[in-house]
């Protein structure tokens, strides 16, 4: 806990070694707030505000109408303050992307993010393709992409709600990093990945010979799924067993989703999660999030520029 007043700041450590200490540190917290004339609580995500409400319900809060009660009931999210002062594309971007947008560059490989293939520490427990389901070779690793609709990548992750887990399947254009299909549901059956793929087909009509890459999960190796892919002229590609780095584009996107959306929320139910994730994908990630590989542009803007340049080249 950090209290700032009249140009100075004081730090307090409120720590619970076990459940028995929880009530004690909550009372200490309230005591420190009461020492401030008109306290304002500043927090980063919805977790903190939800925690305050739970503690009030469990151990009791300050008297109604008091300045302390008002502070707990209406804490200020620091992100809402920042977004009102800083150009919106900095939202959800890391230091590298923000610096690139401002015109700074790093020469060191590590901070530039070249080596930042991140493994998810929370993965869906994926089953290897059943013995009667065909496994396909990895074609994506040898590709050199020059445009959209040459390589689509797909993956599944899980998301925790208040009382259950749900599953998200995504389809991403590997060249533009744009999410072109997704589905969120309570089960991780074949229909989840089929729904995400059908959404992508509503947006795109890739040429024959394009490649679709995924892991070897049973949802991606099912007959219904592979038949649908091949019916649209697709070459199927799969990562080797236990090789998540072979689908690094999707792995990286899942990390962005978790840290920039999921961990900042507390979804009550599937409807709320679906609406919030739709907003993140469609309004934030695809349209606002900067990518160094795209010239510090978001995916939709990059695709629009690509369309303009290809049209100009055709007229030349």
pLDDT tens string 149-164: 999 999 999 998 888 8
pTM over 0.85: no
Distances (CA, A) of 285 to 232, 260, 290: 27, 9, 8
Task: Label residue 312 by pLDDT band (50, 70, 90).
Answer: low
Domain boundary assignment for the chain: 2-81, 132-285
Q: Judge residue 171's burial from the number of C-beta atoms within 10 Å of its C-beta, 0-12 exposed, 13-18 middle, 19 or more buried.
A: buried
Map residue 160 onto helix, strand or coil: strand
Kindly report, residue by residue over 91-128, the tens digit of the pLDDT: 455 555 656 655 555 554 444 333 333 333 333 334 44
The pLDDT-based confidence of 21 (bands split at 50, 70, 90) is: confident
**What is 132-285's CATH number, 3.90.1010.10, 3.30.420.10, 3.30.9.10, 2.60.260.20?**
3.30.420.10
CA distances to 20, 43, 139 from 265, in Å: 28, 13, 37
What is the token pair recorded at 63? Answer: 């008297």
Starting at the edge strand that comes first in sequence, how are the strands of the sheet with 235-238 ordered? 179-185, 165-173, 151-160, 211-214, 235-238
135-149 average pLDDT score: 92
């Amino acid at each position: 806990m950090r209290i700032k007043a009249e140009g100075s700041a004081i730090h307090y450590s409120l720590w619970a070694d076990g459940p028995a200490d929880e009530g004690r540190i909550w009372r200490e917290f309230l005591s420190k707030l009461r020492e401030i004339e008109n306290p304002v609580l500043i927090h980063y995500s919805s977790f903190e505000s939800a925690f305050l409400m739970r503690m009030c319900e469990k151990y009791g809060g300050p008297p109604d109408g008091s300045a302390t009660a008002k502070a707990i009931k209406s804490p200020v999210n620091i992100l809402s303050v920042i977004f009102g002062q800083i150009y919106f594309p900095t939202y959800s971007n890391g230091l590298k992307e923000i610096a690139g947008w401002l015109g700074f560059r790093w020469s060191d490989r590590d901070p530039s993010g070249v080596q930042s293939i991140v493994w998810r520490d929370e993965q869906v427990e994926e089953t290897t393709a059943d013995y009667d389901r065909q496994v396909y070779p990895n074609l994506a690793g040898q590709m050199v992409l020059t445009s959209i609709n040459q390589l689509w990548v797909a993956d599944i992750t899980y998301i925790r709600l208040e009382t259950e887990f749900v599953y998200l399947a995504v389809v991403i254009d590997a060249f533009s990093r744009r999410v072109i299909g997704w589905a969120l549901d309570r089960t991780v059956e074949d229909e989840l990945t089929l729904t995400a793929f059908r959404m992508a087909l509503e947006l795109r009509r890739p040429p024959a010979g394009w490649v679709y890459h995924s892991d070897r999960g049973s949802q991606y190796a099912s007959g219904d799924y592979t038949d649908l892919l091949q019916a649209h002229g697709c070459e199927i590609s799969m990562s080797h067993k236990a090789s998540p780095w072979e689908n690094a584009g999707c792995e990286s996107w899942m990390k962005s989703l978790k840290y920039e959306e999921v961990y900042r929320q507390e979804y009550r139910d599937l409807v709320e999660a679906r609406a919030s994730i739709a907003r993140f994908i469609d309004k934030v990630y695809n349209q606002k999030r900067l990518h160094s590989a795209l010239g510090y542009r978001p995916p939709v803007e990059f695709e629009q520029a690509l369309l303009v340049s290809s049209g100009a080249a055709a007229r030349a």
